[in-house]
Structure 1
Amino acid sequence: MVYNICFYDSEKDAVVVTDMDGKQLVIDCKKAETQVVFDEPEDAGILARFAREEPAGYVGMAMRPGGLQDYVDVWNELNKR
């Protein structure tokens, strides 16, 4: 079994995943979000909160093409109702 530790590093503004061998994957949030288009500028907080509260989910979405944009689009659609 492979164990992962996943957390948000506020000093780096990055999500860090560490495997059981100590190897790290670092997702720089600013770089991962460069192509995301927000309906409103304050919507950037959606992804900041996602990275802090669900770092493993953030990594999963960031690794998919268009994943973070899809997350923001769905969030906005759900909150229009």
Structure 2
Amino acid sequence: MNNNLTFQFGMYEPATDSIIVNTGENSILFIRCKECNSSVIFDDPSDVVYLYHLAEETPLLYAKLALKANGLQDYVNAINEFN
């Protein structure tokens, strides 16, 4: 994985439950949220809402966390610490 990707634009596509990211390198990344979310262990199954909110509100952050080892898990763990 190229860690030097520059994310120019990103959006959540609800019809496919995906994040679509323009990397500025004449390429597009499609990140399937259902697959990424399935790798996260939740204290409460309803905590998956944190990830859907993240995908909808800040799709570029979701994409960056999804591409980082344990990124989404660390995000959910941090949110649970605050709640």
User: Normalized against structure 2, the TM-score is what?
Assistant: 0.85
- State how 1:34-73 maps to structure 2 within 5 Å: 34-73=38-77
Unaligned runs of 5+ in 2: 1-5
- For 2:76, the aligned partner's letter is V
| Structure 1 runs, 4 residues or longer, greater than 3 Å off | 19-22
CA root-mean-square deviation = 1.5
CA deviation after TM superposition for structure 1 residue 69, in Å = 0.3
Give 1 or 2 for the bigger CA radius of gyration.
1
Question: How has the CA–CA distance of structure 1 residues 31 and 3 changed in structure 2, closer, same or farther, with 3 Å as cutoff?
Answer: closer
1:20-55 deviation line (CA, Å, top 9, x unaligned): 465210000011112101111111100000000000
CA deviation after TM superposition for structure 1 residue 62, in Å = 0.5
Identity %: 35
- For 1:62, the aligned partner's letter is A
Matched residues, number: 78
Task: Give the Cα–Cα distance (whole angstroms) in 2 for the partners of residues 48 and 41 of structure 1.
Answer: 13
Q: Does the aligned pair in 1 maintain the 2:7–2:21 contact within 8 Å?
A: no
